[in-house]
């Protein structure tokens, strides 16, 4: 049985971050809380680890996982041609439930799947997730469930679906979210909604001003 570490106490959180960081550095999978639902993640720069995420979920390369980052400064190391409106959205909504699809830096040695030269980035508003990201850097993270099943809102839900495919489970209590993040394609002059989520069109449009948000 993979260890489940209670991260609701200060000592437990410290223990959990150490154990999860060690697992990520070994190229293994961990389950971690986010501000939406529980996620399963691994080192974004390990092709084998990313492939293991897709295998655990029963998902193909045509559905690459997004990448969670510890802070907005990370964006320019991972993405290129970032439009001004995307930076304004980052300033307004990160950390938070907004995922932005941007052109990936061509020089990066990673394989997230069939991305067509893009990467989906998000900074979660969750202390446990951010502490782990601070330790290990960008992680490929997607919802901690088998494809086609409901997203995991508790660590029990995640463990029941992913089992021993995951090396460490970080338990921060039931997810306070439920809805997934809103995903915007920011590779053109105006953003396009790829998935409706927590953030509403009106909230986003208030930041965009004269730039029209497309469906």
Q: How confident is the model at residue 65 (pLDDT cuts 50, 70, 90)?
A: very high
* Local structure of 62: helix, strand or coil: coil
Q: What are phi and psi for residue 135, nearest 5 degrees? A: -75, -40
In this predicted structure, the answer to whether residue 178 has a pLDDT above a threshold of 80 is no
User: Which pLDDT value is given to residue 109?
Assistant: 86
Measured in residues, the chain has a length of: 215
CATH fold, domain 4-208, is DHBP synthase (3.90.870)
- In angstroms, rounded to a whole number, what is the distance separating the alpha carbons of residues 147 and 161? 10
- In angstroms, rounded to a whole number, what is the distance separating the alpha carbons of residues 53 and 9? 28
Q: What's the CA dihedral at 94, 96, 102, 107 to 10 degrees?
A: 70
Q: How confident is the model at residue 94 (pLDDT cuts 50, 70, 90)?
A: very high
Distance between terminal CA atoms of the chain?
44
Which residue ranges make up each domain of the chain? 4-208
User: Which pLDDT value is given to residue 163?
Assistant: 96
Q: Are strands 118-122 and 98-104 parallel, antiparallel or unpaired?
A: antiparallel
Whole-prediction pTM: 0.95
Q: Mind listing the pLDDT tens digit for each residue in 126-148?
A: 999 999 999 999 999 999 999 99
- In angstroms, rounded to a whole number, what is the distance separating the alpha carbons of residues 85 and 107? 24
In this predicted structure, which of 45-59, 148-162, 171-185 has the lowest mean pLDDT?
A: 171-185
**How deeply is 76 buried, as exposed, middle or buried, from its count of CB atoms within 10 A (0-12, 13-18, 19+)?**
exposed
**Secondary structure letter of residue 175 according to DSSP:** -
- In angstroms, rounded to a whole number, what is the distance separating the alpha carbons of residues 26 and 127? 23
User: Which pLDDT value is given to residue 170?
Assistant: 98
Q: Taking residues 91-103, what's their average pLDDT? A: 97
In this predicted structure, the answer to whether residue 177 has a pLDDT above a threshold of 90 is no
Q: Which helix (H) or strand (E) holds 208?
A: helix 201-208
- In angstroms, rounded to a whole number, what is the distance separating the alpha carbons of residues 126 and 117? 28
């Amino acid at each position: 049985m993979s260890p489940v570490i209670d991260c609701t106490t200060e000592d437990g959180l410290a223990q959990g971050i150490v154990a999860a960081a060690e697992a990520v550095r070994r190229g293994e999978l961990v389950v971690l809380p986010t501000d939406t639902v529980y996620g399963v993640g691994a080192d974004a720069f390990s092709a084998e680890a990313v492939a293991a995420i897709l295998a655990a979920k029963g998902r193909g390369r045509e559905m690459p996982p997004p990448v969670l980052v510890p802070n907005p400064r990370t964006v320019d190391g991972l993405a290129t041609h970032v439009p001004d409106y995307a930076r304004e959205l980052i300033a307004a909504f990160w950390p938070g439930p907004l995922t932005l699809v941007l052109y990936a830096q061509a020089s990066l040695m990673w394989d997230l799947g069939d991305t067509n030269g893009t990467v989906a980035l998000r900074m979660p508003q969750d202390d446990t997730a951010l502490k782990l990201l601070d330790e290990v850097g960008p992680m490929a993270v997607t919802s901690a469930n088998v494809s086609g099943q409901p997203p995991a809102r508790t660590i029990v839900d995640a463990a029941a679906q992913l089992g021993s495919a995951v090396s460490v489970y970080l338990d921060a209590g039931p997810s306070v979210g439920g809805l997934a993040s809103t995903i915007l394609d920011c590779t053109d002059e105006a953003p396009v909604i790829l998935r409706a989520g927590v953030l509403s069109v009106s909230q986003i449009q208030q930041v965009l001003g004269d730039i029209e948000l497309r469906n």
